[in-house]
Every structure is written in C-alpha cells, then in structure tokens.
Amino acid sequence: GWRPGFKYFNAYTALTGTVLCGVVMFLLNPYYALATVSISLFFYVYVAIYDPDVSWGGAFHSRAIYKTYRGLLNLALTDKGQGANEGLDWRPSFLVITFGKKYSLTNYVETLRKSYSLIFACS
C-alpha cells in the first residue's frame, strides 16, 4: 500500500498541492481545465446520487487473477522456445465488453479462439 514517507505530510500539504495543481491547470488552458473539472464533477455527482450496486471485487482476488494470467503467459513464452514455429502457435487474448444480456459477441469470440486462448469478458 501507499504510505506517505514525506516528513511533513498532512492534510494541509495535500490540500495545498491540490489547489496549486488546479491553479496551474487553469493558467495553462482554462477551456481544457473547465472541461476536465466538469466531467469529473459529473461522474462524482452521478455516483453520489445513483450509487450503482457494483461489486468491484477484492484486492486478493484481483492479485490471484493477475498471477494466473502472468503464469499462463510465462508458460506460453517458455513453450515457444522449444523449437516450435513462432508464427503458427501465437494465441491472441480477447477482451469482450457486452451491454445487457446479449452473448452473441462472446459466442463469436469463442469460435475465433478455437479453445486455445483467453477471453476476458465483462458486461
């Protein structure tokens, strides 16, 4: 985790840094700064009002998935080094983002991958 190692770290130095960052943003380009603040404020108000019921998962579960993926990638890389033709056994991974309960895109990617590569799906 992140732990502040700065000797004089407290809420006032963080607030001072935030205010200075905002001032520099508006001095450099006020239009982009206003657009950025507006978009950020919109997302903040949206989440505060609607409070979407989303399970983001835990850090341990995320780390387990990451380690599994890295292990599979390392296995695939070491498998290629044993005299196999690198052009024929390349297996791409797919990211499928669907909205609603339509799984036709997932089925399409399933036929593309031919049971050899990974599919990351979210909806």
Helices (H), 29-58: 30-50
Cβ atoms of 97 and 123 closer than 8 Å: yes
Mean pLDDT, 10 residues at a time, the chain of 123 residues: 67 91 96 96 91 77 85 73 55 74 73 72 73
pLDDT at 111: 75
pLDDT at 22: 94
pLDDT one-digit tens code per residue, 51-60 = 877 777 778 8
